[in-house]
Amino acid sequence: MTDDDTSISLSGWGRSANRRTIVRRPTTDEELVDAIGSAGQVTVRGAGCSYGDAALPEQGIVLDLTARNRVLSFNHLNGVIVLEAGVVLGDLLNQVLPLGWTLPVLPGSARITVGGALASDVHGKNHPGAGSFGQHVLWLSLLDAEGSVTELSAGHDPDGFWATLGGMGLTGVILKAAIQLQPAETGWAKQRRRRTRSLDDTIAVLRELAVRQETDPNLHVVAWLDTHAPGTRLGRGVIDESHPAQLGDLPKGVPPDPDPRRSTRRRPVRSLPGPGVVLAPTIAAASMARWHLGGPRDRLLPLLSALCPLDRADAWPAAFGRRGMVQYQFAIPSEATAVLRRVLAFLVGSRMSPALTTLKNLGFGTAGPLSFPLHGWTLAADLPARWLGDGRTLRSIDAMVAEAGGRVYLAKDSTVDPALIPDMYPRLKTWQRTRDRLDPDRRFGSALAHRLNLLP
Ligand SMILES: Cc1cc2nc3c(=O)[nH]c(=O)nc-3n(C[C@H](O)[C@H](O)[C@H](O)COP(=O)(O)OP(=O)(O)OC[C@H]3O[C@@H](n4cnc5c(N)ncnc54)[C@H](O)[C@@H]3O)c2cc1C
């Protein structure tokens, strides 16, 4: 560190985890290597869209990769693109959609960076057919703490490659990656919306759609659950099925790219004072309204509006007030639907009905020991952080998830019981061995790694 370094306050996307820290934002390789050399421990950060403390430091400095955001090469014929890790997915789409290409996997936000997408091995609403982001990476280059760069792929040091995909920035700095894009005729999506009347009904429709998703990687499906409806209606939902539109799907006069100047940056929004506006009565009213207004319809809308609706709601975390929000996201195997019911019953019974609850299908996971997806379901619940007290409130859900062979998503986590991580990620020890080989002096770390004892 130098005398000029001043510390700033940094938070996760949910604004419930915060740290004062020194941030370096290198552009050149020399600046990057210098920044690592000058620090004890380094936490790598992309766009800071992980909800909790994954991109916050426990000690040392934060290395912000967002200034390293060049497209290094693009083969228009086969769709292979080589990018620096700081490229924001939305910026990438702005460049490639007009040329007839798109990303095979897009999570619920296009504001994240390529580095963040790889380090969390993110998934989209089309996971059963498309897999996770890492499955479309041809190779990546990783910088270690000594300044050496290694190219990793499924053929060259596969252990290092798979430990880095989903490795939460703890194996080194991802500098660049080659990604296989897929053809796209337009930037529009056809969306079909339907409503379900109970959790059983929601599960049955999602199961049916999962079968179609397995053979159609372009079919994106998400259910928004009403967790306020009483009795057997608890878990009724609005299900959105989106499919990229072909040119022939567009009405006459509609241009293939709906929104060529779409914004890819977050608008700064100040957190509301006190508890904000996300209070039990407003949550209940919004949840019911979403269901009642979510009647069946077919429509054409920009692909990014269909797949990343929260990018249009910059004020969402700010609305939870001073203490922010957490998102509890877990995955459980297909047969464990009883856990979905028990989790919803627990939250409702504890007067913690979530502000937003989504349920998605997941396909088979990857060779990445810390990669999140497993074949089954993923449920995500947005909760005001002020409801969670010392963070142990959700421990009984952790236990239900672990017992069912499930896991929480590290990129979203703020509260999971550290003792359950080895059960949730049974290949943790394999990952730790590879990580120790890649970073023997433990120079890469994070508040998440410290809290969950990922690097014992
Ligand atoms: C509205 C919203 C919706 C979301 N929906 C989804 C979803 O549908 N599916 C899903 O999977 N995720 C989803 N996420 C989570 C998000 O995709 C991940 O947290 C992603 O990792 C964030 O990327 P980032 O660039 O903001 O990285 P950060 O949040 O800054 O960092 C995330 C992790 O990546 C590491 N990292 C970042 N850059 C590098 C690098 N260059 N080298 C090494 N490590 C690096 C960090 O150390 C950290 O561990 C959503 C997030 C938001 C805000």
Domain positions in the chain: 188-424
pLDDT at 389: 82
- Tell me which amino acid residue 86 is: G
Residues 316-369 pLDDT 10s = 999 999 999 999 999 999 999 999 999 999 999 999 999 999 999 999 999 999
The reply to whether ligand 1 has any atom less than 6 angstroms from the CB of 49 is yes
Q: What is the mean pLDDT of the chain?
A: 95
* H runs (alpha helix) in 350-427: 395-403, 421-424
Give the dihedral of Cα atoms 423, 425, 430, 435; nearest 10 deg. Answer: -130
Among 194-203, 241-250, 309-318, the range scoring the smallest mean pLDDT is 309-318
The residue whose C-alpha atom lies closest to atom 43 belonging to ligand 1 is 169
The reply to whether ligand 1 has any atom less than 6 angstroms from the CB of 327 is no
Residues in the chain, total = 456
In terms of DSSP bridges, do strands 80-84 and 7-11 run parallel, antiparallel, or are they unpaired? unpaired
Q: Which two tokens stand for residue 435?
A: 């990580």
- 9 burial (CB, 10 Å; 0-12 / 13-18 / 19+) is exposed
Q: Which residue has the higher pLDDT, 314 or 125?
A: 125
pLDDT at 388: 93
- Ligand 1: centre distance to CA 210 (Å): 25
Distances (CA, A) of 28 to 25, 67, 254: 10, 9, 42
188-424: CATH topology is Vanillyl-alcohol Oxidase; Chain A, domain 3 (3.40.462)
* Of 21, 49, 168, best ligand 1 pocket probe by most atoms within 8 Å of the beta carbon: 49
pLDDT at 391: 78
**For the chain, what percent of residues have pLDDT higher than 90?**
91
pLDDT at 1: 56
The reply to whether ligand 1 has any atom less than 6 angstroms from the CB of 116 is yes
* pTM over the 0.85 mark: yes
Residues 108-161 pLDDT 10s = 999 999 999 999 999 999 999 999 999 999 999 999 999 999 999 999 999 999
φ, ψ of residue 88 to 5 degrees: the values are: -85, 135
pLDDT at 266 over 80: no
DSSP label at residue 15: B
pLDDT at 260 over 90: no
Beta strands in 371-438 (DSSP E): 376-384, 407-408
